[in-house]
């Protein structure tokens, strides 16, 4: 297919790479020329604006960091003369997705909300979970593109906001388990347990989670803290989930504690650090360190 991709950051660049590898003709745009050139060098065609891109292809994929940015770019895409389908791979949230769907509909453009989960490693390998929702016929048309970037595809219904609801639920559960894991593991070190042994025990026991199975072993145990998903973005997602739940009268009592800790971490300068970096606050308060850097 001839397709467009807007947003070529830490995950978007992997989407573009995999789509090119699958044989698709790819038009790309990013406000950062350096990011755009990474995919141009691999064979994509760079475009000067979102409108220009949407005037050259019928299908436009969005991979952008914040809901308002998605809404602004979608409004520009809607001015394109060729586009008829927009697929939003971002974590935009249900409310803004409904706004965008209504805007696109006035231009005769169909929308699929298809947020993803798994992080940069899964994006590179093509093993992401993808949560598409939108008109069934439109989903059927773009499903091959989703198969190029993800492994587990879950069609969630005709309402494009349903995929976004699923995504923020997922990220909120991750955030809550991650914060709880960090504080419990620091307590274990303080009590005299070995950091790696604790993870080994948890990961064959009922306390395991994505945080203990993947993120903490890969990023904290060796003190490397590679930036895969920032504290700021995770805070955005959990806050969005709590706000959306409040709108429909669904109580959330545990998640706000994790949100508050992430908000505190952002005030301490951790916003652009990876979301497991704030374990350092628990460590500082306890006077111990979880894991150690390799020699």
**What are the pLDDT digits (tens) for 157-172?**
999 999 999 999 999 9
Evaluate if residue 295 carries a pLDDT over 70: no
What does the pLDDT look like over 239-255, one tens digit per residue?
A: 999 999 999 999 999 99
Q: Verify whether residue 167 is a known catalytic residue.
A: yes
How do strand 85-88 and strand 150-153 relate by DSSP bridges?
A: unpaired
How do strand 2-6 and strand 25-29 relate by DSSP bridges?
A: parallel
Q: Give yes or no for a contact between 60 and 81, defined as CB atoms under 8 angstroms apart.
A: no
Please give the domain boundaries of the chain with CATH numbers for all domains: 2-159 (3.40.50.720), 164-286 (1.10.1040.10)
Query: Which of these is catalytic: 51, 167, 236, 239?
Result: 167
Which pTM does this prediction carry?
0.91
The mean per-residue pLDDT over the stretch 185-193 comes to: 98
Report the chain's terminal Cα–Cα distance, integer Å.
Answer: 48
Please tell me the distance from the alpha carbon of residue 151 to that of residue 123, in angstroms, as a whole number.
10
Q: Give yes or no for a contact between 274 and 230, defined as CB atoms under 8 angstroms apart.
A: yes
User: What is the predicted pLDDT for the residue at 121?
Assistant: 86
pLDDT band of residue 127 (cuts 50, 70, 90) is: very high
User: What is the predicted pLDDT for the residue at 119?
Assistant: 85
Please tell me the distance from the alpha carbon of residue 86 to that of residue 54, in angstroms, as a whole number.
9
What does the pLDDT look like over 257-286, one tens digit per residue?
A: 999 999 999 999 999 999 999 999 999 999
Reference 108, options 85, 88, 87; nearest CA is 85
Reference 139, options 87, 97, 74; nearest CA is 87
Please tell me the distance from the alpha carbon of residue 40 to that of residue 56, in angstroms, as a whole number.
16
Share of the chain above pLDDT 90, in %: 97
The two tokens of residue 274 are: 């990876």
The mean per-residue pLDDT over the stretch 91-97 comes to: 96
**Reduced to 3 states, what is the DSSP secondary structure of residue 11?**
coil
Q: What is the distance, to the nearest Å, from the Cα of residue 18 to the centroid of all Cα atoms in its chain? A: 17
pLDDT band of residue 294 (cuts 50, 70, 90) is: confident
């Amino acid at each position: 297919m001839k397709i467009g991709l807007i947003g070529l950051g830490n995950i978007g660049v992997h989407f573009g790479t995999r789509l090119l590898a699958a044989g698709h003709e790819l038009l790309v745009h990013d406000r950062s020329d350096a990011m755009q050139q990474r995919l141009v060098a691999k064979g994509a065609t760079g475009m000067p604006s979102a409108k220009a891109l949407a005037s050259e292809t019928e299908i436009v994929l969005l991979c952008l960091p914040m809901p308002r940015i998605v809404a602004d770019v979608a409004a520009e895409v809607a001015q394109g003369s060729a586009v008829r389908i927009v697929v939003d791979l971002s974590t935009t949230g249900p409310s803004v997705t409904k706004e965008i769907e209504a805007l696109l509909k006035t231009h005769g453009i169909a929308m699929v909300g298809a947020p993803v989960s798994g992080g940069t490693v899964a994006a590179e390998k093509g093993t992401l979970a993808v949560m598409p929702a939108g008109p069934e016929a439109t989903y059927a048309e773009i499903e091959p593109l989703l198969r190029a970037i993800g492994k587990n595809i879950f069609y969630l219904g005709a309402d494009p906001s349903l995929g976004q609801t699923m995504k923020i639920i997922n990220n909120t559960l991750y955030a809550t388990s991650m914060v709880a894991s960090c504080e419990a593991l620091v307590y274990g070190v303080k009590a005299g347990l070995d950091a790696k042994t604790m993870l080994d025990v948890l990961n064959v026991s009922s306390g395991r989670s994505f945080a203990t199975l993947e993120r903490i072993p890969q990023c904290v145990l060796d003190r490397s803290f590679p930036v895969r998903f920032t504290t700021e973005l995770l805070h955005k997602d959990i806050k969005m989930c709590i706000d959306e739940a409040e709108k429909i009268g669904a109580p959330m009592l545990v998640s706000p504690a994790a949100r508050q800790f992430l908000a505190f971490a952002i005030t301490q300068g951790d916003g652009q650090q990876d979301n497991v970096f704030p374990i350092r606050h628990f460590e500082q308060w306890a006077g111990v360190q979880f894991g150690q850097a390799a020699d």
